[in-house]
Amino acid sequence: SRYYREVLPGEIVKISRHDVQTLDVVQRLEGDPSAFCIFEYVYFARPDSIFEGQMVYSVRRRCGQQLAIEAPVEADLVSTVPESATPAALGYAEKCGLPYVEVLCKNRYVGRTFIQPNMRLRQLGVAKKFGVLSDNFKGKRVVIIDDSIVRGNTISPIIKLLRESGAKEVHIRVASPPIRFPCYMGINIPTKEELIANRPEFHDLANYIGADSVVYLSVEGLVSSVQESIKVRQGNNPKTHKSLGKLGHCTACLTGDYPVELEW
């Protein structure tokens, strides 16, 4: 029988034809907590992945619920841009008591937008990439949940598309905090200047992207959504509590607080 589990932070694993062996688990210096990338939960990982004993889908749903607590809005329906933010949108809708309704459907015959060589083509690509389900939102106030807004390019033409198709209001809620800092741990985040959170436009982001309002999830809200069920499990099992030590998630791209000292 095969048993799959995640590789622990700092774990060195040897895989051979015969078996899978743990050679060592490298401890963090001075007993610092591990620094598991929090963006795995927000964006990178598949929703059915399990990290730290919890399913990524469930964490994303909790992020949506937390976002509804932090940033409710008078609206008629909740939706998303298909489909990476769907769990968060369902969590938001559930918590607000609003219906979750599809406003866009994916056109599966069009290539990915991010490989288009320039901005104009990328934006045109967005219009071709989605079909508009206008009957579902005409004359209504729509909340669109996104998982992250990094540069702000993709969401803008989508808002325009929804307005032109009859949306009365379009409110954007982002189920993660703004990315402000580069990642030196191997993730290729755009330069500081490209990140919308560091640009002057960020001070009036709603106007810049054409939305009625924009609110991001707080860093505390994200961390609590990620750690909530880990803490519950640890609380129930003192032995686990000891072996796991302090909980650690890397939030460097959000806070600038890096888990290791940078040498440059």
Q: SS in 3 state form for 189-213?
A: CCCCCCCHHHCHHHHHHHHHHCCCE
pLDDT given at position 236: 66
**What are the tens digits of pLDDT across the range 231-250?**
887 776 655 444 444 568 99
Indicate whether 8 belongs to any domain. Answer: no
Give the integer Cα–Cα distance in Å for 60 and 50: 12
Indicate whether 24 belongs to any domain. Answer: no
Closest CA to 105 of 89, 76, 129, 122: 129
Range of the domain at 85: 39-222
Residue 30 is given by DSSP the state G
Q: Other CB atoms closer than 10 Å to residue 148's CB: what's the count?
A: 17
Give the integer Cα–Cα distance in Å for 157 and 152: 10
Give the integer Cα–Cα distance in Å for 196 and 178: 8
Tell me the backbone φ, ψ of residue 223, rounded to 5 degrees.
-60, -45
Q: Element (H or E) spanning 54, and its range?
A: strand 54-55
Indicate whether 185 belongs to any domain. Answer: yes
Structure-block tokens of residue 184: 């030196």
pLDDT given at position 119: 58
Angle, helices 155-164 vs 119-129, to 10°: value is: 50
How many domains are contained in the chain? 1
Full-model pTM: 0.86
Indicate whether 23 belongs to any domain. Answer: no
Closest CA to 104 of 77, 71, 75, 122: 77
Indicate whether 1 belongs to any domain. Answer: no
Indicate whether 206 belongs to any domain. Answer: yes
pLDDT given at position 6: 83
pLDDT given at position 19: 92
Maximal CA-CA distance, the chain: 63
pLDDT given at position 129: 83
Structure-block tokens of residue 8: 């622990």
Pairing of strands 169-174, 213-216: parallel
Give the integer Cα–Cα distance in Å for 251 and 257: 7
Residue 219 is given by DSSP the state H
- pLDDT beneath 50, residues of the chain: 113-115, 240-245
**What are the tens digits of pLDDT across the range 180-216?**
999 988 888 888 999 999 999 999 999 999 999 999 9
Indicate whether 119 belongs to any domain. Answer: yes
pLDDT given at position 239: 52
CATH of the domain at 95: 3.40.50.2020
Indicate whether 209 belongs to any domain. Answer: yes
